[in-house]
Amino acid sequence: MNNYIKHNKAVYLTQYHIIWCPKYRRNLLTNEVKNRLSEIITNSCSELGATIKAFEIMPNHVHVFVSYTYKEPINKLIKKMKGTSSNLLRKEFPELRKMPTLWSRSFFVASVGNISEETIKKYIEQQWKK
């Protein structure tokens, strides 16, 4: 059922549900910005060896459900996704440079263990139906 990861003498499954939003929760993540952000998140996760299980970009927040190594702190991945995306999006979309910063400094992260992987995926996929 779960896809455990084997590495040397360890077998693990560390999964996280991550949410963050633009500064002042503005509705900025639409159209081309949304498409480009999707590419950046995918590339950032790939570079750090994280596997994306599901993700959705809403106009005013981002949900990412990932499987990530136990050897690195999750904030390293979050910093990579938020930092790289802020830098690249602000360079590529001049309207985003008007804001003092693209992302809020805060984020939400929860390890997935008490609820099933399918529940998290369903929750993320259902975001547009609310």
Q: What is the percentage of the chain residues whose pLDDT exceeds 70?
A: 95
Angle, in degrees to the nearest 10, between helices 74-92 and 31-47:
140
CA distance 50 to 46: 6
User: What's at 86, amino acid-wise?
Assistant: S
CA-to-CA separations, 10 to 13, 16, 93, 112, in angstroms, rounded: 10, 19, 43, 19
Domains held by the chain: number: 1
Residue 125 belongs to domain spanning: 5-129
**What is the value of pTM for the model shown?**
0.85
Q: What is the CATH number of the domain that holds 87?
A: 3.30.70.1290
What is the C-alpha separation between 102 and 119, in angstroms, rounded? Answer: 30
Q: What is the pLDDT of residues 21-44, one digit of tens each?
A: 999 999 999 999 999 999 999 999
The pLDDT mean for the chain works out to 91
**Lookup: tokens for 8:** 């040397």
Please say if the pLDDT value at position 2 is more than 80.
no
